[in-house]
Chains A and B, each alone.
Chain A
Amino acid sequence: DQQVKQNSPSLSVQEGRISILNCDYTNSMFDYFLWYKKYPAEGPTFLISISSIKDKNEDGRFTVFLNKSAKHLSLHIVPSQPGDSAVYFCAASANYGGSQGNLIFGKGTKLSVKP
């Protein structure tokens, strides 16, 4: 049973518009959430994170929203740029800062930003 779900395998957005990537989770013990971006032939790159004590974290064009009651988080990219085209992974941990590497990943959403 998947504990972290990214139900949209792909998303296509026009340059300059907003990209919204969604992620749902089932384990209520998760208390830390991360987004990674992955280009082909490269390892995932850490993008942004949020702990369960917050509902929003913003870093430049990237904002992550967390809705704990719905067990849902989303990544907003505004404005979207062609260089944002990549696969985005949502990940969750039940041990914030616990150094146990127990990240649970979703399957990823491939974002395509068209010029």
Chain B
Amino acid sequence: SAVISQKPSRDICQRGTSLTIQCQVDSQVTMMFWYRQQPGQSLTLIATANQGSEATYESGFVIDKFPISRPNLTFSTLTVSNMSPEDSSIYLCSVEAWDVANYGYTFGSGTRLTVV
């Protein structure tokens, strides 16, 4: 299955600034997914990133706050804009993965963001 390199692994940022998170996949994938896991909460899908088209955002998430780029089939970025302490979360990218008998998703190692 695909291997995802995600960076940065963690960052501490000042409120009002922006952080761009990068995910590089070792194979071409049609869709990449961005998730957020707030403290004590489950993983929540932010948006789906397709190459060559605009990302599709889930309810509660907007492009101005979380702009996404998908320049090719192996790379995507998520920017957390104009950050506030409420944006402190773990952000993860994900792609679909098939192995012999199962269909699932492969996740990056995550970016732990703390906004102060």
A61 nearest CB across to chain B (Å)? 15
Q: Which residue of A lies closest to B47 (CB)?
A: A101
Is A8 interfacial (CB 8 A cutoff)? no
Q: Which of B35-43, B67-75, B81-89 contacts A (4 or more CB under 8 A)?
A: B35-43
Q: B33: which A residues are within 8 A, CB to CB?
A: 101
Q: In the bound complex, do residue B109 and residue A48 qualify as a contact, i.e. CB atoms below 8 Å apart?
A: no
Q: Which residues, 55 to 76 on A, are CB-close (under 8 Å) to B?
A: 59
Q: In the bound complex, do residue A108 and residue B97 qualify as a contact, i.e. CB atoms below 8 Å apart?
A: no
Question: Residue-by-residue, is B103-116 near A (CB-CB < 8 Å gives 1, otherwise 0)?
Answer: 11111111010000
Of B30, B42, B94, B96, which contacts A106 at CB under 8 A? B42
Q: In the bound complex, do residue A43 and residue B104 qualify as a contact, i.e. CB atoms below 8 Å apart?
A: no
Q: In the bound complex, do residue B45 and residue A103 qualify as a contact, i.e. CB atoms below 8 Å apart?
A: yes
Q: Is the interface of B mostly helix, strand, loop or mixed?
A: strand
- Count residues of chain B with CB under 8 A from any CB of chain A: 29
B109 nearest CB across to chain A (Å)? 5
Q: In the bound complex, do residue A107 and residue B31 qualify as a contact, i.e. CB atoms below 8 Å apart?
A: no
Q: In the bound complex, do residue A108 and residue B106 qualify as a contact, i.e. CB atoms below 8 Å apart?
A: no
Q: In the bound complex, do residue A41 and residue B103 qualify as a contact, i.e. CB atoms below 8 Å apart?
A: no
Q: Which residues, 83 to 113 on A, are CB-close (under 8 Å) to B?
A: 89, 91, 96-97, 99-108
Q: In the bound complex, do residue A46 and residue B106 qualify as a contact, i.e. CB atoms below 8 Å apart?
A: yes
Q: A91: which B residues are within 8 A, CB to CB?
A: 43
Whether A42 contacts B110 in the complex (CB less than 8 A), given A89-B42, A101-B31, comes out as: yes
B13 nearest CB across to chain A (Å)? 18
